[in-house]
């Protein structure tokens, strides 16, 4: 066996494998960048549609003196139906690009809304503490805040914000 040709062949094989690996990484990097852009677009679209819906809910609950009963719960659904449909439509259209934790928080928000706006005949489907909530606005606000937190976490906004503060001379960690 000629060690020189073996070394040369092994080196060529190594260079070929490295070339294939780098080619794969460059293609997957572009794919990741595309998916991240779609995820940012999805979060933006969903946030822009959930915000008016959430605000409509808060206004209605405020007008009911922060208490919902058998009459006002279904009225909440009626009053916010248009905003809810827009939010759900955007959520469905972009759900493919959402992370699991964001999906979970959005589903929790929907569950809270459904519970605090549940008609009497459906009230057994939801936790009693939400249906008979002392402050349905607070329950909905907590669920909304959780969505925002998970979106920020998923996008890596906190580390980015801290890095920007370091660059501009803000606080040091």
Residue pLDDT, tens place only, 4-16: 777 767 777 777 7
Please state, in angstroms and rounded to a whole number, the distance separating the CA atoms of residues 5 and 16.
16
Task: Render pLDDT for 47-65 as a digit per residue (tens, 0 to 9).
Answer: 999 999 999 999 999 999 9
137, 58 Cβ separation under 8 angstroms: yes
Instruction: Give the mean model confidence (pLDDT) for residues 114-142.
Output: 90
pLDDT for position 3 = 73
Instruction: Provide the 10 A C-beta neighbour count for residue 68.
Output: 23
Spatial CA neighbour of 91 closest among 79, 107, 114, 78: 107
Instruction: Give burial (CB, 10 Å; 0-12/13-18/19+) of 8.
Output: exposed
Task: Render pLDDT for 155-170 as a digit per residue (tens, 0 to 9).
Answer: 887 665 566 556 666 5
């Amino acid at each position: 066996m000629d060690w020189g040709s073996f070394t040369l062949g092994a080196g060529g094989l190594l260079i070929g494998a490295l070339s294939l690996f780098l080619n794969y990484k460059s293609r997957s990097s572009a794919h990741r960048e595309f998916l991240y852009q779609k995820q940012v677009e999805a979060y933006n679209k969903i946030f822009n549609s959930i915000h008016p819906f959430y605000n409509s809910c808060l206004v209605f609950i405020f007008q009911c003196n922060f208490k919902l009963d058998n009459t006002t719960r279904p009225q909440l659904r009626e009053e916010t139906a248009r905003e809810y449909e827009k939010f759900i439509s955007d959520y469905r259209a972009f759900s493919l690009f959402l992370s699991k934790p964001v999906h979970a928080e959005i589903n929790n928000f929907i569950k809270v809304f459904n519970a605090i706006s549940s008609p009497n005949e459906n009230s057994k489907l939801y936790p009693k503490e939400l249906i008979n909530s002392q402050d349905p606005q607070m329950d909905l606000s907590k669920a909304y805040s959780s969505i925002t937190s998970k979106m920020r976490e998923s996008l890596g906004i906190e580390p980015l914000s801290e890095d920007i503060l370091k660059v501009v001379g803000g606080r040091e960690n």
